[in-house]
Every structure is written in C-alpha cells, then in structure tokens.
Chain A
Amino acid sequence: MSDTSRSIPDRLQSPLERRLKSWETLLLAVAVAIFIVNSFTSPYFLNAWNLSDMTFNFTEKAMIAFAMALLIIAGEIDLSVASIIALASTAMGAAVQLGVGTPGLVLIGLGVGLLCGAFNGFLVTRMGLPSIVVTIGTMSLFRGISYIVLGDQAYRGYPSDFAFFGQGYVFWVISFEFVLFACLALIYFVLLHKTNFGRAVYAIGNNAVGAEFSGIRVARVKFILFLLTGLMSGVAAICLTSRLASTRPSIAVGWELEIVTMVVLGGVNILGGSGSIPGVVIAAFVMGLVTFGLGLLNVPGIVMSIVIGALLIGVIALPRLWENWRMQAAKR
C-alpha cells in the first residue's frame, strides 16, 4: 500500500445511477400509477380543464411545503403556517375595508408572513426553544388573533384585479398559481441543491453541533429558514384569499399537517438531514391526483383524509418492510 501515486476517485456511483435508485423514482412510479388508475375509473379525468382544476388542490400547499422541506431538513419544523395564512388573510381583509388597493394588499400579505416567520425564528434561535413547541404555540396565537378580529364574520369586497392571483390564467389552462408553483419549485431546487446555503442546511440537519464547529452560522441559517417559511405562508395566503374572494378565521384550517405530510411523503426525513425538492414536487402531484381522483368518484372528504393517511404510512413503511425482508432472506 505504499503506492504514492494512488489517487482517491471522486465517486464510485454516478449521480444518475444514484438517482435511479432513489426515493423520487419510486414516488414518480406511484404518481404515474395513480394517474393511470384515475384515467380508467373516471371518464372526466382526462380533460385539460379538469386536470388544471386538479392543480389547485396542491399549488398553495406546495409553495409552503418547499420552504418547510428546507426547515425540516435543517432539523426544525413550523406548525404555525396555516395560522399565518389566516392572520395574513385577515390583515389583507381589514386593509380592503380601509380601501387599500391590490399592490398594498400583496405587500401586507407578504409582510405579515415575514413578521410571523421572524417571530417564530426569534423564539427558536435566540431563546433556544424547541420549534415544535414554539410553533404549536404560535399556531394558536396567530389564528386566535383572526378569531378575535373577525368572530363569525367574514371579510369580502376584494378588488377585482386582486382575483388574478387565485383565479387568473396565464395561457390556456395554465393558471397563474401553477406558474408560480413551478417557478418557486425551481427557485427552491436551486437554493437547496446548488448553493452554499443549501449545503449548510444539510450540514445543520445532520449534525448541528458539527456544523457550528465547522464555522457555519447555525442560528442565522435557521432564522432565515423561518423567515422563508413565513414568507411562503404569506404568498399562499394571497393566492388562497384571492381564489376564495373572502376571509374567514377558519381559512386553511388543518393545512399544516397536510403540508408536513407532503414534505415527508416527498422523502424528507422528519428527523432532518435528508430530502430533496423534486421529491416534494412529485409528492404534491401524488396528493393532488389522489384527492382529485377520489373527488371525481364522489368519495366524501373524510374518506379522502383516510386514504392520504394510509398512503403516507404505506409509502414510508414499504421500503422498510422490503429491507427487513431482504435482510432476513440474506440470513437464511
């Protein structure tokens, strides 16, 4: 072994090979399978406008899921996202009553999202509190403010040009929301997989102490991730409010769990350290397709949530069962 010219290869497995064996590939197969099943079970499924409607099932949630994916990979979580939507929507609704126009409403929506994210980030990174506890608290806090302001009332009367964000189409059946979803997917893909910041996110999620000892500013990175998640909640709030053209305090109730489900289904380790944006994108389509397919078959909402839950457990359990079975087979 004294060969001094010996050189360590960069990689033994090509990135393509690794990708083919990945979670994303498996998930893509699931998505295609669901698509095929849907097209046989309902005659209305393979219709461009119906498929376009389908995307509204996931676009708003997926926008938040991208930021949430980074946050979960870094070992934190934000359960207050749906309540940030409620608060941002309420703020926009109140502004409408004062006669604020569309540009102002957008700024208010984004601003409230950023402020809420900053509040979460401050409590977690400066006070050192666990994010699951902090954001369960702010989940009640943010939505509670909406309930105090609105009670059982609703804000309406949004300006007509505000409707474009949730109801507009850019080209034929391609909605503005879908274009925004695609752009954000690309931005988050680059951010997580192609930048120094994304590398730091993975390092922190795998070993926050080791990352700190390697000169990474861990608290700063985490704070930025909370800001991004808040900002995305603000973006989603604008789209959803525009689509519904009204604000009630119960807006987007329960979304935080659907968003976390989407992220985990996309292959992000709930304990942090691994996951990818393409995985989350495919998971968004899987969830959209399942909900839409069942909707066309007139399956009630409660059954849908059972199916989504079963899907999540199934997709996570199967690889593990497969692995156990292979290990036992190898022992024999």
Chain B
Amino acid sequence: MLMQPDQTHDLPKVETGPPILALNRVTKTFPGVTALSEVSLELFPGKVTALVGENGAGKSTVVKILTGIYQPDGGEIEIDGTPCRFPTAQAAGDAGVTAIHQETVLFDELSVAENIFLGHAPRGRFGLIDTAEMIEKARAILVGIGAQIEPRTKLKDLGIANKHLVAIARALSIDARVVIMDEPTAALSQKEIEELYVLVEELKDQGKAILFISHKFDEIFRIADNYTVFRDGALVGTGSIADVSEAELVKMMVGRDVSQIFPNRAHNIGDEILVVEGYEHPTEFADIGFTLHRGQILGFYGLVGAGRSEFMQSIFGITRPSSGVLRIDGKQVDIRSPADAVANGIVYVPEDRGKQGAITALPIFQNVTLPSLGRTSRNGFLQLAEEFKLARDFTERLDLRAASLDTDVGNLSGGNQQKVVIAKWLATQPKVIILDEPTKGIDIGSKAAVHEFMAELAAQGLAVIMVSSEIPEIMGMSDRVIVMREGRIAAELSADTMTPETLVRHAAGI
C-alpha cells in the first residue's frame, strides 16, 4: 500500500529530502483496544520531529514498534524507502534505530563502558571482550558528547542526568541513524536540560533523525523542526513547527466531543466528609490540600508522573507523608497503613489491578470478602455461606460477568477484574472511594458500566476521588478538578470553568 499523504491529510510537505525512516499507515490492536489506527510518521536526517499527544494517544506504542518490541498488525516501516521489519529489538538496532526511554533501560551493576557496549563490545583474541579497547572507545564517545563520566564507574553510582548521558552514548555507540527520545527531560534539572539541548543540536549536525516525545511545549518549540500529533491512536496533524502555534497544537491534541457518552448525573452535594491539609512528601508531592463533600466526584488530572498516584497512596496509608493533616467527618485521623484507611472508610482502587488491586490467583468471592472478613466471619472463623452472599450482592450490582464466584480473578477480562476490585471496596461500606485510572485498559462496554456506577455511587452520597489522565473522562465525570503538576496543585477548576485547553495548559505549565 503506497502512502499518498495529500490524499488523507491536506498537510504541507515539510521537507524536500527523503526521510530516513517512515511509518506508512501502521495499525496495532490489542484485545479490545485499537492502539494505533493507520498512523504515518516521517523522520528526516538532521531534523527533530516532536511527537505530541495525550496520555494514551499511542506514542509509546509507536516507540515500541520502532524498537522491535511490538509488531504492527498492518502497514509498513520503511528505511530509506525500503520496506523492512523489526522482529526483535536487535533487528531495530541493526537497522540503526535506538531509543532513550523515560526510565533508561540500563544495568546498575555494570560499568558505564559495559552499559554503552552491551551486546556489541569490541572483541579481542578468542572472542573475549577487549576491555581496554571498550573503555577507550567509551571514553571517546563520552568526551564527544561533553559528558565528564569515567567509563569504569558503576552505573548505580551516577545520578539520573548522567545515566541519561550514558543512554545517549549507548545510542551513539551503535552508530544509530534514528534516535528516539521518550520524555528525555522528565527527570532532569533545568541546567541538565540545557546540556541535553546542546547534545540534540550536535546529533542534528551529524545528520541523525530524532524523534522527540515530550509533554512540555516550551521545549518542543525550542528544539523541534517538525511536529506530529496523535489522538486516540490516530494521526491528526503533522507539519513544520514554524507554521503552528501552541494553541493549535493543544486543540489538535484534545479536540473532540467529550460530553456524549457520560451518564447524566444528579448533583446532590452533601456535607464535608474529607479534609486534607498540607500533605508533603520529601520527593513525590508538596503542599496538597482540598476538601471533599458527600456525593461529589473530584477529578485529579495531570501528566503521568505528576505525583497523583503517590499522593493517593499516602492518603491510603501505603506511603507515609512527611507532614499533613487528614480529617474524616471532622475527626482528625492518623493513617499508618491501608488497614487504618479502610477502618476509617477510605478505600483505594489502584491503577495496577494485577499487582495491587486484586489477588488474581484467588477466586472472586475471596477477593471480594478479603477486607470484609471481620463482618462475614464469626469469632474469626470463616462462614462461607456469608461470604458467597456478600460477594454475590456486590458483584451483581456491578453486573459482573463470570462463570462462578469460585472462578479465579486472573481468568476474568480486565473490565471484570476491575468490577471485582470495586465490589471488594463497596462491600466495606466506605465513605470515600479513590479510583486511580479506573477505566485504563478496559473495553468500552465495561468503561461505560464503571462510569455509570460511579455516578450512582455519588448519587447515593459516597464521596469519589477519580484520578484520570483521560480528558473526556475528567470532563464527563467530575464536579470539580484538581490539576497536579510536578507534585503540586497547579489549579482547581469547577465544572463550568474547565475546558480541555485549560486542563492541558495547567498540567503542562504553559
């Protein structure tokens, strides 16, 4: 299938030279989700292309396809105009594509030189690694990018910024022609970011094509030459950065109808139930405070890594805040463990269902009753009939689909697993329920069921906190939204003042 760019999108031709790497109408589906739908992307020599989109727009999937971790279901990858396939990460590397990830994939216990040359170290006699040569080459590369790092240092002794430099050195050592940078500045200080910009310029001068993924508009406008915007796994715009404004980019990222699929809600806001003041954590968040009323749905929006989950887990007693006050029903409580939180009526549906939310090797009914065993048992002895009754009551309210209540949770679909986790917490009769990305990775049908149920819970007077990175979900469900950025509250918006644009602006800090 040959790509006719002007036919599908009336976009300006941004570059006269041929691209090094091109994706042509690449599609990737996962069970229940289309992650990428016929997206195209072109990377030119000596140019930085910024890939922009909301969380879940398909950026990470593209990176994984380009680095041989995922195989596309349709469309093709071209290098220098020749179609090719990357069945393994090795194949992508051999084709000259390398990626520097948000969290660098390096090995703490190996030396810097070993990290740089892992898998392609210079060989000496008998095929053994020529350590001296490797260290010299590593030193040369590091000097070339202006990094003052001794190649014999163990990686674990370096700071995060230097680890990034090692990752970049590794990218250069395999003579990459295409360098993917996935939020490279997320963990760096301003000075380190400046050094990174200089490095990007050098890579450009060497004629490498760079794919730069970032949420920060200032840096996109500073170093990118071209842009490509994804939304919901589809390409919505591409062109030269000189021809576009920030506002236009934001609009492309979020522009869609957000109100239609969400339930209409009765807004019976009741008494104050939860008050949080001055919550602080040494590294994750600072100065968080808000009040929550019965019957209210409070949304927490922000970019991945803004500290929302970490904050929620501190309310739930997983991590201890260094300071802060929490009052429930006007009474100050000290929550030292999840057991304390549950006892005080605060429950948490985590984002990571498989690890934190459910115990997948145990049957449905045991998962549901686990925090409620005190009520279903007699003097500490299990009462199976009571357990089945409680589990049936709450799973049926959520319209769970399962062969029996004795089925292991691991055998259920993601949506039904989520229903089990929610049922587990509702069975404890909580006052406040925190839902962390409640519909992430679940199918559309279950999504709607979860949304409807959330609305119903609020109508019954439960206070709901919903952490979500999906703007439609935030807009469609919340009475009020707190936007977090870099561990702090960036804004608090009411239902009538929030727009997709204001949310993105506050989250990205522009």
Give the interface of A toward B (CB within 8 A): 1, 7-13, 190, 194-200, 202-203, 206-207, 209-217, 273-274
User: Is B377 within 8 A of A210, CB to CB?
Assistant: no
A274 nearest CB neighbor, chain B only: B361
User: Is B382 within 8 A of A215, CB to CB?
Assistant: no
Chain B residues lying within 8 Å of A273, measured Cβ to Cβ, are: 361
B407 nearest CB neighbor, chain A only: A12
User: Is A196 within 8 A of B403, CB to CB?
Assistant: no
A198 to B380, CA, bound (A): 10
Q: CB of B299 within 8 A of chain A?
A: no
Chain A residues lying within 8 Å of B343, measured Cβ to Cβ, are: 215
Chain A residues lying within 8 Å of B424, measured Cβ to Cβ, are: 214
Which one of B341, B359, B406 contacts A210 once the chains associate, using CB atoms below 8 Å?
B359
Chain A residues lying within 8 Å of B373, measured Cβ to Cβ, are: 196, 199-200
User: Is B370 within 8 A of A214, CB to CB?
Assistant: yes
A214 to B371, CA, bound (A): 6
Which one of B350, B381, B400, B405 contacts A213 once the chains associate, using CB atoms below 8 Å?
B350
**Interface membership of chain B positions 452-467, coded 1 if the CB is closer than 8 angstroms to chain A and 0 otherwise:** 0000000000000000
Which one of A13, A190, A200, A213 contacts B356 once the chains associate, using CB atoms below 8 Å?
A213
Q: CB of B90 within 8 A of chain A?
A: no
Q: How far is the CB of A284 from chain B (nearest CB, A)?
A: 25
Chain B residues lying within 8 Å of A190, measured Cβ to Cβ, are: 381
Q: Could you list 12 further interchain pairs (A-B, Cβ under 8 angstroms) beyond the known A8-B404, A194-B381? A: A8-B392, A8-B396, A10-B365, A12-B403, A13-B406, A195-B380, A196-B374, A198-B382, A206-B361, A207-B359, A211-B359, A217-B339
Given contacts A211-B370, A217-B337, contact A10 B359 (CB under 8 A): no
Which one of A7, A203, A210, A213 contacts B392 once the chains associate, using CB atoms below 8 Å?
A7
Count of A-B residue pairs with CB < 8 Å = 103
User: Is B342 within 8 A of A215, CB to CB?
Assistant: yes
Q: CB of B263 within 8 A of chain A?
A: no
Given contacts A196-B382, A199-B373, contact A213 B365 (CB under 8 A): no
Chain B residues lying within 8 Å of A195, measured Cβ to Cβ, are: 377, 380-382
**Interface membership of chain B positions 368-391, coded 1 if the CB is closer than 8 angstroms to chain A and 0 otherwise:** 001101100100111000001000
Q: CB of B476 within 8 A of chain A?
A: no
Chain B residues lying within 8 Å of A217, measured Cβ to Cβ, are: 337, 339
User: Is B406 within 8 A of A12, CB to CB?
Assistant: yes
User: Is B382 within 8 A of A11, CB to CB?
Assistant: no
**Interface membership of chain B positions 258-290, coded 1 if the CB is closer than 8 angstroms to chain A and 0 otherwise:** 000000000000000000000000000000000
Which one of A12, A209, A213 contacts B348 once the chains associate, using CB atoms below 8 Å?
A213
User: Is A203 within 8 A of B362, CB to CB?
Assistant: yes
Chain A residues lying within 8 Å of B236, measured Cβ to Cβ, are: none
Q: CB of B228 within 8 A of chain A?
A: no
Which one of B355, B370, B388 contacts A216 once the chains associate, using CB atoms below 8 Å?
B370
Q: CB of B402 within 8 A of chain A?
A: yes
A202 to B369, CA, bound (A): 13
Q: CB of B89 within 8 A of chain A?
A: no
B376 nearest CB neighbor, chain A only: A196
User: Is B406 within 8 A of A11, CB to CB?
Assistant: yes
**Interface membership of chain B positions 347-361, coded 1 if the CB is closer than 8 angstroms to chain A and 0 otherwise:** 010100001111111
Given contacts A196-B377, A199-B366, A217-B337, contact A210 B356 (CB under 8 A): yes
User: Is A11 within 8 A of B377, CB to CB?
Assistant: no
Which one of A10, A198, A207, A216 contacts B360 once the chains associate, using CB atoms below 8 Å?
A207
A273 to B361, CA, bound (A): 8
Q: CB of B446 within 8 A of chain A?
A: no
B356, B365, B370, B392 — most chain A CB neighbours (10 Å): B370
Q: How far is the CB of B229 from chain A (nearest CB, A)?
A: 37
Which one of B318, B356, B382, B404 contacts A199 once the chains associate, using CB atoms below 8 Å?
B382
Chain A residues lying within 8 Å of B406, measured Cβ to Cβ, are: 10-13
Given contacts A206-B359, A207-B359, contact A12 B404 (CB under 8 A): yes
Q: CB of B500 within 8 A of chain A?
A: no
Chain B residues lying within 8 Å of A196, measured Cβ to Cβ, are: 373-374, 377, 380-382
User: Is B361 within 8 A of A212, CB to CB?
Assistant: no
A179 to B300, CA, bound (A): 61
User: Is B388 within 8 A of A207, CB to CB?
Assistant: no
B355, B359, B366, B371 — most chain A CB neighbours (10 Å): B359
Q: How far is the CB of A267 from chain B (nearest CB, A)?
A: 15
Chain A residues lying within 8 Å of B407, measured Cβ to Cβ, are: 12
Q: CB of B98 within 8 A of chain A?
A: no
Chain A residues lying within 8 Å of B382, measured Cβ to Cβ, are: 194-196, 198-199
A188 to B502, CA, bound (A): 60
Given contacts A13-B406, A195-B380, A196-B377, contact A210 B358 (CB under 8 A): yes
Q: How far is the CB of A2 from chain B (nearest CB, A)?
A: 10
A203 to B372, CA, bound (A): 14
Chain B residues lying within 8 Å of A198, measured Cβ to Cβ, are: 382
Q: How far is the CB of B16 from chain A (nearest CB, A)?
A: 54
A7 to B402, CA, bound (A): 10
Q: How far is the CB of A221 from chain B (nearest CB, A)?
A: 11
A10 nearest CB neighbor, chain B only: B388
A182 to B396, CA, bound (A): 43
Q: How far is the CB of B350 from chain A (nearest CB, A)?
A: 6
Q: CB of B395 within 8 A of chain A?
A: yes
User: Is B380 within 8 A of A9, CB to CB?
Assistant: no
User: Is B380 within 8 A of A213, CB to CB?
Assistant: no
User: Is A215 within 8 A of B392, CB to CB?
Assistant: no
Q: CB of B441 within 8 A of chain A?
A: no
User: Is B404 within 8 A of A210, CB to CB?
Assistant: no
Q: How far is the CB of A218 from chain B (nearest CB, A)?
A: 9
A281 to B420, CA, bound (A): 35
User: Is B318 within 8 A of A213, CB to CB?
Assistant: yes
Q: CB of B239 within 8 A of chain A?
A: no
User: Is B355 within 8 A of A8, CB to CB?
Assistant: no
User: Is B339 within 8 A of A215, CB to CB?
Assistant: yes
Q: How far is the CB of B228 from chain A (nearest CB, A)?
A: 38
Chain B residues lying within 8 Å of A203, measured Cβ to Cβ, are: 359, 362, 366, 370
A200 to B392, CA, bound (A): 21
A59 to B374, CA, bound (A): 35
Given contacts A203-B359, A203-B362, A273-B361, contact A8 B405 (CB under 8 A): yes
Q: How far is the CB of B41 from chain A (nearest CB, A)?
A: 38
Q: How far is the CB of A23 from chain B (nearest CB, A)?
A: 16
Q: CB of B338 within 8 A of chain A?
A: yes
Q: Which residues 397-435 in B have Cβ within 8 Å of A in the complex?
A: 400-407, 424, 428
Given contacts A8-B405, A210-B356, contact A215 B381 (CB under 8 A): no
Given contacts A196-B380, A214-B424, A216-B339, contact A209 B396 (CB under 8 A): no
A196 nearest CB neighbor, chain B only: B373
18 contacting pairs across A/B (C-beta < 8 A): A8-B402, A9-B404, A9-B405, A11-B406, A196-B382, A199-B373, A200-B373, A206-B359, A207-B361, A209-B356, A210-B360, A213-B356, A213-B357, A214-B338, A214-B359, A216-B370, A273-B361, A274-B361
A12 nearest CB neighbor, chain B only: B404
Given contacts A195-B380, A214-B338, A215-B339, contact A11 B362 (CB under 8 A): no
A274 to B306, CA, bound (A): 39
